[in-house]
């Protein structure tokens, strides 16, 4: 069993309507705020709502609301310039994984000299960052409870996990009411990613009793409620359950380091600019069938747990974990092949190389041949 290392970034505020506290929390760190948000929130009303809350607390708010699916290090440089020129004292990140990683990078780079390339390549070794407040509006973010972010470099389309100094994130506000605008299909994909990455955390060699407990909480909450959550967008109690699952999953993942399945999914999605949650659902059955996870006893345990939580009568005792996941994919009409996402097969080896380098860099050596084999099987 792995040793336990759990460093909680800042403090966590959780609950419906807790976003109303963001003004008072931000004012602790300064009066000039740069609000960084997913571009989708220009139309949902969420961006203006949070801006108004901040301004009611006499904060000066500048907005960078152009984080979108193709945003990478070029876009981060634009936001860094905005932060420096406006003398921003606090960074607020609003959105999903991409927006929150984007905000983390801006908070670090804007606090000193240098540029995003220095941060991306770990050339900067300093312990200064602008105070950061994270406001997730999606359920899934494996990096939510760690001082890490997932970035894609613009020129080469390569990816990396970058690390901020300890205590860079001052506040994480998880408010389930901010997730009601998620479409049902995206909700399903997000919940599937929480489920699958939590299963991988449970199976991984770095698992511990704390990882397993957190992962099992996430697995249970998703499996028992996935259909109700997706089918009842306005039910705040169900949204709260989904957000609880996301926090449990993020807690488990914060203690495991980069897992091969999760990294392969994120790198492939970023490289081809396709939804990473879709890639995760496609890859994980092949990941659990591969040599990466060949502990038959633990695989059987994970499969039995998932079948028990789903309570579907169609499963037999012999169905392995990967078959259960494939049944979920078929039920929710999720893409089953990478080729369905218009991914180019001749560039898949690049993704396995990038993912392998991220995993190896973080002291968990995995052969790139194994990763490429998974991508080839899933194509």
Averaged pLDDT, 123-134? 84
Q: Under 8 Å CB-to-CB from 159, ≥6 apart: which residues? A: 150, 151, 152, 153, 266, 267, 270, 271, 354, 358
Residue 16's pLDDT is 95
Q: How far apart, in whole angstroms, are the C-alpha atoms of residue 99 and residue 77? A: 14
Q: How far apart, in whole angstroms, are the C-alpha atoms of residue 245 and residue 109? A: 31
Per-residue b or e along 245-265, where b marks 16 or more CB atoms closer than 10 Å to that residue's CB:
bbbbbbbbbbbbbbbbbbbbb
* pLDDT over threshold 60, residue 1: no
Strands (E), the chain: 11-14, 32-38, 60-67, 90-95, 132-136, 148-152, 159-163, 169-174
* pLDDT over threshold 60, residue 232: yes
Q: Under 8 Å CB-to-CB from 302, ≥6 apart: which residues? A: 199, 202, 203, 321
DSSP character for 343?
-
Mean pLDDT across the chain: 91
DSSP character for 37?
E
* pLDDT over threshold 80, residue 257: yes
Residue-wise pLDDT for 287-329, tens only, equals 999 988 888 889 999 999 999 999 898 888 889 999 999 999 9
pLDDT band for position 60 (cuts 50, 70, 90): very high
- The count of residues in the chain is 379
Residue 193's pLDDT is 97
Q: Would you give the end-to-end CA distance of the chain in angstroms?
A: 34
Residue-wise pLDDT for 344-378, tens only, equals 899 999 999 999 999 887 555 677 899 999 999 99
26-40, 153-167, 183-197: least confidently modelled range: 153-167
Among left, alpha and beta (phi > 0; psi -120 to 50; other), residue 32 is beta
5-9, 81-85, 261-265, 279-283: least confidently modelled range: 5-9
Q: Between 348 and 116, whose confidence is greater?
A: 348
Q: How far apart, in whole angstroms, are the C-alpha atoms of residue 96 and residue 155? A: 23
What is the edge-to-edge ordering of all strands in the sheet holding 90-95?
Answer: 11-14, 169-174, 132-136, 90-95, 32-38, 60-67
Residue 42's pLDDT is 85
Q: How far apart, in whole angstroms, are the C-alpha atoms of residue 12 and residue 173? A: 6
145-154, 243-252, 370-379: least confidently modelled range: 145-154
Q: What is the dihedral of CA 367, 207, 96, 52, to 10 degrees?
A: -150
* pLDDT over threshold 70, residue 278: yes
114-128, 147-161, 319-333: least confidently modelled range: 114-128
Q: How far apart, in whole angstroms, are the C-alpha atoms of residue 136 and residue 103? A: 11
Give the three-class secondary structure for 11.
Answer: strand
Structural domains for the chain: 11-179 (3.40.50.1970), 184-378 (1.20.1090.10)
Q: Between 103 and 156, whose confidence is greater?
A: 103
Distances (CA, A) of 187 to 24, 30, 63, 322: 30, 35, 26, 21
């Amino acid at each position: 069993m792995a040793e336990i290392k759990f460093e909680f970034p800042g403090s966590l505020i959780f609950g419906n309507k807790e976003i109303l506290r963001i003004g008072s929390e931000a004012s602790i760190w300064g009066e000039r705020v740069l609000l960084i948000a997913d571009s989708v929130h220009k139309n949902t009303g969420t961006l203006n709502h949070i801006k108004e809350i901040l301004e009611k607390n006499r904060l000066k708010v500048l907005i960078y609301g152009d984080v979108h699916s193709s945003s990478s290090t070029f876009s981060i440089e634009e936001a860094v310039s905005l932060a420096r020129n406006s003398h921003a004292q606090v960074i607020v990140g609003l959105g999903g994984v991409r927006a929150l990683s984007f905000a983390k990078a801006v908070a670090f780079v804007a606090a000193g000299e240098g540029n995003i390339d220095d941060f991306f390549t770990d050339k900067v070794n300093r312990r200064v960052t602008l105070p950061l407040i994270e406001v997730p509006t999606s359920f899934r973010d494996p990096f939510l409870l760690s001082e890490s972010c997932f970035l894609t470099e613009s020129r080469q389309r390569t990816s990396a996990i970058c690390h901020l100094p300890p205590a860079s994130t001052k506040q994480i506000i998880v408010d389930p009411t901010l997730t009601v605008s998620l479409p049902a299909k995206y909700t399903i994909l997000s919940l599937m990613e929480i489920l699958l990455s939590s299963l991988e955390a449970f199976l991984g060699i770095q698992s511990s009793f704390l990882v397993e407990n957190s992962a099992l909480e996430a697995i249970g909450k998703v499996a028992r409620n996935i259909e109700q959550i997706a089918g009842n967008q306005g039910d705040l109690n169900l949204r709260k359950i989904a957000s609880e699952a996301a926090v449990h999953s993020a807690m488990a993942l914060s203690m495991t380091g980069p897992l091969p399945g999760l990294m392969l999914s994120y790198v492939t999605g970023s490289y081809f600019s396709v939804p990473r949650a879709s890639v995760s659902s496609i890859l994980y059955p092949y990941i659990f069938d591969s040599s990466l996870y060949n502990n038959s006893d633990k695989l059987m345990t994970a499969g039995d747990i998932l079948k028990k939580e789903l309570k579907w009568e169609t499963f037999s005792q012999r169905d392995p974990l990967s078959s259960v996941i494939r049944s979920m994919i078929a039920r929710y009409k999720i893409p089953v092949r990478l080729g369905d996402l218009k991914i180019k097969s001749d560039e898949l080896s690049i993704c396995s190389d990038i993912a392998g380098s991220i995993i190896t860099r973080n002291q968990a050596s995995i052969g790139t041949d194994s990763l490429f084999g998974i991508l080839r099987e899933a194509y």
